[in-house]
Amino acid sequence: MILNILPPLRKPFQWRLNETLLAHMDGKTQLTTGLIKYFQRNQGSVTKTQVDPKGRYIILHKVWVRGELIAIATNLKKSAAHRRFQIEQQLKNMEHRYNQKPSIPTLARITSLRAQLRDFNIKQAVKAITYIRQRYYDIMWKQGPYTLCSEAARHWT
C-alpha cells in the first residue's frame, strides 16, 4: 500500500474571467445576443416556483457563458495573429521594394508599418506583464514552492 501525502505537482487549471473581453464591442454584442437566444431556448427549464437545491441551472448558465467567452477570446487571438502576419508580410514586401527602388512614399510606409508592429509588440508585452502579476497575486500568500517573495511582502503590509 502506497500512501501519497505530498501535494499534487500541478493543480487543476482554474479559469478566470478576462475583463478586456467584456470591453471589446464585438464580443459584448456576441455575448448579449447569445444570452438572449440561450434564455429564449431554455425558457421553460426553470420557473420561479421551482427550487434547484444543487444549483444545477446556475452552473449550466455559467458554463455556457464561459464557453462563449472562450470562443470570443479564441477568435480575438486568431485575428491578432493574422493581423501581425499581415503587417510583417507588408513590411517585408515594402523593404524589398525600397531596396530595389528607393522612394520617400515607400520609406514612409515602411516607417508606418514598423510603428504598427512596435505598438503590437508593446500590447503583447503589457498583456504578458498583466498575466504575470495576476498569477503572482493569486499565489503570493500561499505556502509552497511558488511563494516567490511572499515572506518579504508580508512584512511590508
User: Using one digit for the tens of pLDDT, what is the confidence trace for 34-50?
Assistant: 888 888 887 766 555 45
- Within a domain: 6: no
Phi/psi of residue 18, nearest 5 degrees: -95, 110
- Where does residue 113 rank: exposed (0-12), middle (13-18), buried (19+ CB within 10 A)? buried
Q: What is the dihedral of CA 54, 67, 120, 107, to 10 degrees?
A: -170
- Within a domain: 112: yes
Q: Is the pTM of this model over 0.95?
A: no
Domain span holding position 67: 20-41+54-142
- More confident: 44 or 86: 86
Phi/psi of residue 145, nearest 5 degrees: -70, -15
Q: How much is the average pLDDT of 111-126?
A: 94
d(C-alpha 22, C-alpha 17), whole Å = 9
Number of domains in the chain: 1
- Within a domain: 108: yes
pLDDT score, position 122: 94
d(C-alpha 87, C-alpha 78), whole Å = 14
Which residue type occupies 145?
A: P
Q: How much is the average pLDDT of 122-146?
A: 74
- Within a domain: 7: no
pLDDT score, position 131: 78
- Within a domain: 34: yes
- Within a domain: 96: yes
20-29, 56-65, 146-155 — which is least confidently predicted? 146-155
